[in-house]
Amino acid sequence: MSITTHLSTDEIFGLFRQYVIPNYRRYPVVLVRGEGVEVWDSEGKRYLDLFPGWGCNLLGHCPVPVVTAVQEQLTRLIHVPNTWFTEAQGHWAKALSERSFHGMAFFCNSGAEANEAAIKLTRLHQGPGRYKIIVFEGGFHGRTMGSLSATAQPKYHEGLHPLLPGFSYCPYGDLEAVRQRIDGETAAIMIEPIQGEGGVVLPPNGFLQGLRALADEHQLLLIFDEVQSGCGRTGEWFAYQNFEVVPDIMTLAKALCGGLPGGAMLARKEIAPSLRAGMHASTFGGNPIAAVAGLAAIEMIETQGLLERAKALGNLFLERLRDLAQRCSIVREVRGVGLMIGVELVADGTPVVNECLRRGLLINCTHGTVIRLLPAMTMTDDQVYEGCDILCRVIEEYAQGGLETKVEA
């Protein structure tokens, strides 16, 4: 007998209650299929997805070029460790290097893992005694102990002390605080050029340039965590390209492989060799499946002109949502770059997310009050209108006190 028989929705919930560690808050929905920006649940209900794959499905669900490349690779070579060369990993590193700052790549499987690599490379490069990394309040860098320690949000630290020492937390946007924090043991500054989890927070004018100048002045490495903002999300290959500042190290994951798991750290050529042979590794990192998926994602973005499309779609969203902000005082601010969009409310955003879910629209709320959209580059204009219509109506009804949906999260 097969161990996977077809179960009812309730029976699937039952499996999770009994066998899956409850470390996630899940909506009571079983998703079974996705195509582009639409997904369907086990009851046949269709949803428009404005938060596909928590930012991983930037190309929509099951993008055809990625699916085709992976299917073809699956029958040839699924996995070989990094004790061997593969052509695909080489091409992938070159493609990423040429689209960023001509550095070298280390491949891994997730954002947290990419940031761990950045932390280790920093220590190895800067040498004994220089280990401190300045990071920013509201930032998010992952859940492993190193990347968690770099995450200056105490709510994620509860019960987990002691953290990895050496991270210095500064207010985001405050250059003077950074300057004062630098001492002889400081090795790097690590930042999301646009904060995601922290509420889609854009850097104040000149802030990233100021960090670059401080890093240069004190021989610090400047690390950009582009796990959420990278890979075309903002309409540029990487968010930093919107601000004309170049980092020494950059970390990537989420959308990197068109929806498949994969992560990478890129480092300037002068720095990269400090991660010497034997000092770091990841068994699955840069495997052939991830590599061909990553290459297919890049090719799809280029052949379909999706960077320009991301900018146009982002403007369409901002136009609609700013129009809402004009007439609806519950909206404090609408902000974003390309397809990284935040709608900050003056109230808890959870009821909005729950009601949108009921009406067939998937969105996210972060930092309590910020409705976050990380839409796919492949949306049509009509899909943007459909999504904005639902979202705007729900927010307006919320403002008028008319939402009653309760969804067990």
**Residue 352 binds ligand PMP, judged by CB under 6 A:** no
Q: Which residue is nearest to ligand PMP (CB)?
A: 111
**Residue 111 binds ligand PMP, judged by CB under 6 A:** yes
**Of residues 57, 69, 130, 192, which one binds ligand PMP by CB under 6 A?**
192
Binders in 239-258 for ligand PMP, by CB under 6 A: 253
Q: Provide the Cα torsion 205, 211, 214, 218; round to 10°.
A: 180
The answer to whether the CB of 249 falls within 8 A of the CB of 118 is: yes
**Of residues 65, 166, 173, 197, which one binds ligand PMP by CB under 6 A?**
197
What would the x/- binding string for ligand PMP be over residues 11 to 50, using CB under 6 A? ----------------------------------------
Which token pair is 352?
Answer: 């909005």
Q: Which stretch binds ligand PMP (CB under 6 A): 24-32, 121-129, 137-145, 158-166?
A: 137-145
Which strands make up the sheet holding 186-191, listed edge to edge? Answer: 104-108, 263-267, 249-252, 221-225, 186-191, 132-136, 167-170
Cβ count near 130 (within 10 Å) = 20
**Of residues 70, 88, 227, 394, which one binds ligand PMP by CB under 6 A?**
227
Q: Which stretch binds ligand PMP (CB under 6 A): 73-81, 104-112, 123-131, 240-248?
A: 104-112
**Of residues 141, 212, 233, 320, which one binds ligand PMP by CB under 6 A?**
141
**Of residues 196, 285, 314, 375, which one binds ligand PMP by CB under 6 A?**
196
Nearest to ligand PMP of 256, 275 (CB atom): 256
Closest separation between CB of residue 151 and ligand PMP, Å?
8
Long-range contacts of 148-154 (CB under 8 A, 24+ apart): 148/112, 150/115, 150/119, 150/190, 153/197, 153/198
Closest separation between CB of residue 262 and ligand PMP, Å?
9
The answer to whether the CB of 116 falls within 8 A of the CB of 146 is: yes
Closest separation between CB of residue 253 and ligand PMP, Å?
4
Any idea which residue has 């050496």 for tokens?
166
Angle 87-99/288-303 helices, nearest 10 degrees? 40
Q: How many residues bind ligand PMP (CB under 6 A)?
A: 14
Three-state DSSP at 266 gives: strand
List CB contacts of 162: < 8 A, sequence separation 6 or more.
none
Distance of alpha carbon 340 from alpha carbon 199, whole angstroms: 10
* Secondary structure tally for the chain: helices H, strands E: 11, 15
Nearest to ligand PMP of 112, 291 (CB atom): 112
Any idea which residue has 């919107």 for tokens?
242
**Residue 140 binds ligand PMP, judged by CB under 6 A:** yes
Nearest to ligand PMP of 342, 351 (CB atom): 342
Residues annotated catalytic, as ranges = 140, 225, 254
Can you give the binding site for ligand PMP, defined by CB under 6 A? 110-112, 115, 140-142, 192, 196-197, 225, 227-228, 253
